[in-house]
Amino acid sequence: LEGVRKVKKDHVGYATVAKKVDVKRLKKDLWSELETNFSIVQNDNFEDDAIVDDVIADDAIVDDHADVKERECKVLSFNETVNQMETNQSQSDVTVPFYFICLLHLANEKGLRLESEGLQDFNIIHN
């Protein structure tokens, strides 16, 4: 009979104290940040929109150009948004999972789409 093999215990670092985060306020702050960034992206593309509108008027190709204009002006990166919010956030215990959970709630409430081509980052798309 062989003796029982013993395995060394690994220490898992996890929070021992619950974090206190005002999720309602975080959702409100995240939505205002997203709205601001969506409007900035739209304003940056304003000249491009005017050019596309002129092309649409001249060529009467409404569907293709309108879809391109819609896609170009309403896409944000999750990582960039979180990085911007972390610098402005007054709540110290907010972590990326809290941002992600709030974003999932906002996606359901506000009709946002989340798309990703890899596992590093994903895009937030406003319809």
CATH number of domain containing 96: 1.10.10
pLDDT-derived band at 5, boundaries 50, 70, 90? confident
Task: Give me the mean pLDDT over the 1-22 stretch.
Answer: 80
Q: Is residue 29 part of a domain?
A: yes
Which residues on adjacent β-strands are paired with residue 126? 112
Q: Global pTM? A: 0.65
Based on the structure, what is the number of domains in the chain? 1
Question: Where are the strands (E) in 11-99, listed by range?
Answer: 75-77
Token digits for 33?
A: 């940040």
Q: Is residue 108 part of a domain?
A: yes
Token digits for 8?
A: 């060394």
Q: Tell me which amino acid residue 6 is.
A: K
Contacts with 62 (C-beta within 8 Å, 6 or more apart), sequence order = 56
Of the chain, the percentage scoring pLDDT greater than 70 comes to: 73
Domain of 48 in residue numbering reads as 23-126
What is the greatest pairwise CA distance in the chain? 88
Q: Is residue 8 part of a domain?
A: no
Token digits for 125?
A: 């798309």
Pick the residue with more confidence: 6 or 81? 81
Q: Is residue 4 part of a domain?
A: no
pLDDT at 42 over 90: no
- For the segment 46-76, what is each residue's pLDDT rounded down to a tens digit? 555 554 455 445 444 445 444 444 445 478 9
